[in-house]
């Protein structure tokens, strides 16, 4: 999956913990979003596994269903 900059549509590359657009020099953070309610998900990490949990009542969300959005830092 190639992420695109929401500002200039240039490709984003991973830079440490964030995403960087080399064209417009902006930094973004990828956020996991619930596909049902559209709100940010809590990320649960344990024993090498990563799970996504919707605190607004949708429960555990499969990583195949997670929507990803780029948020400016």
Taking the C-alpha atoms of residue 40 and residue 59, their distance in angstroms, rounded to an integer, is 12
- Can you give the pTM of this predicted structure? 0.74
29 close to 73: Cβ distance less than 8 angstroms: yes
For residue 57, what pLDDT is reported? 84
Taking the C-alpha atoms of residue 52 and residue 10, their distance in angstroms, rounded to an integer, is 28
Taking only the tens place, the pLDDT of each residue in 8-49 is 999 999 877 899 998 999 999 999 999 999 999 999 998 988
Taking the C-alpha atoms of residue 25 and residue 68, their distance in angstroms, rounded to an integer, is 20
Distance of alpha carbon 1 from the chain centroid? 12
In degrees, rounded to 5, the angle at the alpha carbon of residue 32 between the alpha carbons of residues 29 and 14 is 35
For residue 1, what pLDDT is reported? 54
């Amino acid at each position: 999956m190639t992420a695109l900059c929401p500002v200039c549509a240039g490709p984003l590359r991973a830079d440490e913990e964030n995403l960087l657009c080399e064209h417009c020099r902006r930094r973004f953070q990828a956020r996991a979003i619930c596909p049902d309610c559209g709100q940010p998900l809590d990320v649960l990490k344990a024993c090498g596994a990563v799970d996504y949990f919707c605190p607004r009542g949708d429960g555990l969300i499969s990583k195949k269903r997670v929507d990803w959005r780029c948020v400016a830092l």
